[in-house]
Amino acid sequence: MATRLNPYINFTGNARQAMEFYQQVFGGTLTVSTFGEFGAPDAPEADLIMHSMLETDSGFTLMVSDLPPGMEYKPGNNITVSLSGDDVEELRGYWAKLSEGGTVSVPLEKQMWGDEFGSCVDRFGIGWMVDIAGPG
């Protein structure tokens, strides 16, 4: 799989509706995973979207999630750039450069869904997420 660069948008409880709308606009295949599916089945946010991806026939990729309780929502600042793929060396290299001089909010390490993932804000104030696909 080639490395992919795409927008990642955060919502506050309406990510599912937004993605269903974007699918109507752009077409394509929509995948949705909730917080409940990843270890919080009884939590208040169980039905909220932990991660959703729309891949279109035109080559567009859009990813979204609902912010869990306690994370601040700032309209206009709710878009992050996502880098994802399976080229470990390439993506770790991007991570090292993007996070240098910035602020790391989630260290690049293995996550509960099996991928390596990290989140940072670079030295220019741009939010980045790096996801390295796990084996399989």
pLDDT, tens digit, 9 for 90 and up, residues 107-127: 999 998 899 999 999 887 888
Task: List the domain boundaries for the chain.
Answer: 10-67, 76-136
Query: Tell me, what's the pLDDT at 135?
Result: 75
Reported residue count of the chain is: 136
Q: Tell whether the model's pLDDT for residue 136 goes beyond 70.
A: no
Report the b/e string of 117-134 with b at 16+ CB within 10 A: bbbbbbeeeebbbbbbee
End-to-end CA distance of the chain: 12
- What's the pLDDT tens digit per position in 18-74? 999 899 978 999 999 999 998 778 888 899 999 999 998 888 899 999 988 788 887
pLDDT of residue 66: 93
Cβ atoms 117, 45 nearer than 8 A: no
Q: What is the pTM of this model?
A: 0.72
| 76-136 carries CATH number 3.30.365.10 | no
